[in-house]
Structure 1
Amino acid sequence: MIKLHLPSTSTPLLVQLRRRLSVLLTAAACITPAVSSAHPHSWVDIHTQVLGTETHITGFKMQWTFDAMTSAYMLDGEDTSAENRAETFQAIADSVMENLLQEHYFTYFYQNDQPIKYKVSPGGTLSQDRMKITLSFELPLAKPQPLPEEPLALRVFEPSYYVDLAWKANTDVSLAAPLQKHCQVNLVQPTPTAEQMSYAMSLPADADPDNALGQLFTQTVTIACQPQV
């Protein structure tokens, strides 16, 4: 069992999401009551590239695409006029990255049961495609990780499962060119029980966060390599 060091969920990023989504959830409850009681309430599609050389893993390149409703609420009240759009988007990206730093970027990387540390990300950028916004950033490791004999495990999740961060397919995780000769990645789906799923669905929108819930619905990317001799 991987030991997870769970962060707090009271940062401004999640507070802002909860505040802005509360109006949406109230409106949705009037139409389809099940929506207001189901977890999660915000969805993020992840694309990840594992960065490295032929001998070491050095970090990750991330693209997080928020669902259309979350994107709209994150931009609500912001100046997205043509002359100020770039500045506004960068300001939002800087704010989100600062908050993600406090939450370990919701990203956990392990060798056996031991967490592998990161450096502070050099920053992120925000872009928009139709109704969705995407946050792009790199997450360097504190020290380059030699290609391991035992698989490494990568997980990305928000502990209370208020925000669902997920890879949709194996192809959403890729290897930088130098690693492709030596490593393989595999996306392992979570296997929550029926009771655990029922519990998650029963929680009301205003329930106190359950910081053990996110682990139950979290995918794991394994990175298996054949080290250079």
Structure 2
Amino acid sequence: MGLLLGTSPAALAHPHGWVDMSVEGVFDDQGNLTALRQRWRMDPFYSQVVMEEMATVKDGTSMAQRLDALGVEIRNNLATQHNLTNITLDGQPVAQGEVTDTNTDYRDDRLVYEFVLPLSTPQRLAGHTLSYRIFDPTYYIEMVHEANEDGSQPLPDALKLDHPPAGCTTRIVKATPDPQKVMEAAMLDKGDSGEPNLGRFFAETGEIACPG
């Protein structure tokens, strides 16, 4: 999955895979948002390819150990790209800490990568809106929140809150890319690369807002 797992996306059209993600905003006892807990489920085809490759390894390790090693590889790759996560508070950038609590598993024919992305400084959201967008800049991978079968509505758990102050709300805003960008992405093939950060035009926006 290209940048995500360090593999080559050559000879594959855009996007050539997808990730279904869910996010949980984590609050501390003072009502500050401290982290975004994320779960990414890789698409079944890519998951199968990776699992088949790992099954051929003859180094005496268990599959659980290989999954752990895969999680380290994913974490290290993502760390070079701000974990593919852009966070703002009222439109101003919010710095990230180092990812913690990673876990990699294989469930229901899907590779699942879970992690906690701390904010470098806890943010008090009273009267403010924190927004995030999670996307692969190259758009080799389409990243969307967990949704119903036809993809028209995000699931209730796609964005939820852990111990939030009273009255805080969440919202997921679908992307509305310009038709020209859609065409541009569709025409990319093989080793082509589009404009830098092409993926941002297709990224959904998650919002967490709390009353002042």
TM-score normalised over the length of structure 1: 0.79
- 1:182 deviates by 3.0
Q: Secondary structure at the match of 2:35?
A: strand
1:97–1:123 contact (8 Å) kept in structure 2: no
SS at match of 1:140: strand
5+ residue gaps, structure 1, are 1-9, 26-35
**Structure 2 residues without counterparts, runs of 5 or longer:** 148-153
CA contact (8 A) 2:44 2:109 kept: yes
Distance in structure 2 (CA, Å) of the matches to 1:111 and 1:102: 22
Q: What percentage of residue pairs aligned between the two structures are identical?
A: 25
Q: Which is richer in helix? A: 1
Q: Are 1:61 and 2:37 an aligned pair?
A: yes
Distance 2:176 2:72 in 1: 35
Deviations 1:161-206 (A, max 9, x none): 1111111315210011x21623101001111122221222112232
Matched, 1:109 2:87: yes
Question: What do residues 103-141 of structure 1 show as CA deviations (whole Å, max 9, x unaligned)?
Answer: 110011101332111111124111111321100111111
Cα distance in 2 for residues equivalent to 1:148 and 1:14: 37
**Residue 161 of structure 2 aligns with which residue?**
175
Deviation at 1:77, TM superposition (A): 2.3
Cross-structure match for 1:164: 142
**Cα distance per residue 1:35-75 (max 9 Å; x no partner):** x4xx2111000011110035200101111000011112233
RMSD: 2.4
Match of 1:73 in 2: 49
Distance 1:94 1:86 in 2: 13
Q: Distance in 2 between matches of 1:188 and 1:102?
A: 26
Q: Tell me how far 1:15 sits from its aligned partner.
A: 4.1
Moved more, 131-140 or 107-116: 107-116
**2:9 aligned to 18, 26, 30, which one?**
18
